[in-house]
Amino acid sequence: MTAPDARPPSRDPQALVERVLRGDRLALARLITLVENRSPAVPEIMKALHPRSRDAYVVGVTGPPGAGKSTLVDRLTAHLRAAGDSVGIVAVDPSSPFTGGAVLGDRIRMQAHALDPGVFIRSMATRGSVGGLARATGEVIRLLAAAGHPWVLVETVGVGQTELDVMQLVDTTVVVLVPESGDAVQTMKAGLMEAADIFAVNKADRTGAPGLMAELRFAAHLHHASPTSRKDVDWEVPVLSLQAQHDVGVTELLAEIRRHRAALEASGVLASRRGERLAAEVETLLTDEFRARLHRQARDEPFRAILDAVAAGHLDPYTAAARLLPMISLEPS
């Protein structure tokens, strides 16, 4: 695994794109790094891959730390591989903005599937803004899809706002809980209900599991019956029992994922949600570009003088913003 390439491949983005479309793993890894580093080549890369970037079905796995998400992702991967499909995995760790905490988990997991060319794993930690993480995750998902993986699994830690943003990028969200996470469930119940397509109670042999499952089933049923719940697809969130470490319940979970996919496809909701997601991405791209131009212009007069007056307390931010807005150029650069 650590042997150097005798002939390092080209870093030319177009050449990398062609190699990714032929299934070259090393080229895929390079493209992902370009995307993570916000290379100026990213727009060209994403344009070139666009026609192939919607071919994967994307499953999110989220839940509190210690719920066994990584183990579950490993088991799901093994089942999908046994069925002959290749799998792309994105592990997102937004909980540690300063440390890049995803690296260790990545290394540990790489061992299990290191020799399987049908599995591609990538970890992503927060770099700078949280919004940036969700955007980069979306791009990596599409790279994995374009590289020919029919399944992409996205694992995130926790169910805070960042995770909910990332979960907007997936087709089916599995929320993994353990009996110990009962308190978290109380706090987050409404958010969990909005986010989850399937509940999986892991370590289901422990005390408290039947109680948690009953509670979740009741909440899921109430939520489904509620007039305020999302009604574009008729789906009552199922609650499954799981012992991922012993491979118990994984077959059933995969069957529920396939059933949810079928419901989304039959109702036309899968296509419409993916369309909304792409339109939302346009907004993100526009806002990012606006901010980039703002930063460029902020270095020069008369922009700079206005910001300095604000920092010195001589001018309030609202007056400054009203003066600066028409000074920003949106012409093609």
| Residue 53 CB, nearest approach to a copy of itself (Å) | 8
Identity of residue 116: D
C-alpha distances (whole Å) from 16 to each of 9, 41, 43 are: 8, 11, 14
| Alpha carbon distance, N-terminus to C-terminus of the chain | 43
| Residue 2 CB, nearest approach to a copy of itself (Å) | 27
Q: Which helix (H) or strand (E) holds 326?
A: none
Q: 316: exposed, middle or buried (C-beta count within 10 Å: 0-12, 13-18, 19+)?
A: exposed
| Residue 261 CB, nearest approach to a copy of itself (Å) | 18
Nearer to a copy of itself by C-beta: 78 or 285? 285
Give bridge partners of residue 248 from the DSSP assignment: 243
Nearer to a copy of itself by C-beta: 89 or 125? 125
| Residue 22 CB, nearest approach to a copy of itself (Å) | 21
Nearer to a copy of itself by C-beta: 197 or 256? 197
| Residue 273 CB, nearest approach to a copy of itself (Å) | 10
Binding-site ranges for a copy of itself (CB under 8 A): 42-43, 46-47, 50, 54, 65, 94-99, 101, 126, 130-131, 158, 160-162, 164, 187-191, 194, 274-276, 278-279, 281-283, 285-287, 289-291, 294, 307, 310-313, 316-322, 324-326, 328, 330-332
Q: Which helix (H) or strand (E) holds 91?
A: strand 87-93
Residues contacting residue 133 through CB under 8 Å, at least 6 positions apart: 92, 94, 124, 125, 126, 127, 162, 166
Q: Which residues of 144-163 are buried (b: 16+ CB within 10 A; e: fewer)?
A: bbbbbbebbbbbbbbbeebb
Nearer to a copy of itself by C-beta: 114 or 286? 286
Length of the chain: 333
Nearer to a copy of itself by C-beta: 131 or 211? 131
CB-side neighbour CA atoms (13 Å) of 286 = 8
| Residue 316 CB, nearest approach to a copy of itself (Å) | 4
| Residue 114 CB, nearest approach to a copy of itself (Å) | 26
Residues 228, 175, 66, CA angle at the centre, nearest 5°? 140
Nearer to a copy of itself by C-beta: 171 or 256? 171
Nearer to a copy of itself by C-beta: 253 or 306? 306
Pairing state between β 172-177 and 198-201: parallel
What is the Cα–Cα distance from 94 to 187, expressed in whole angstroms? Answer: 20
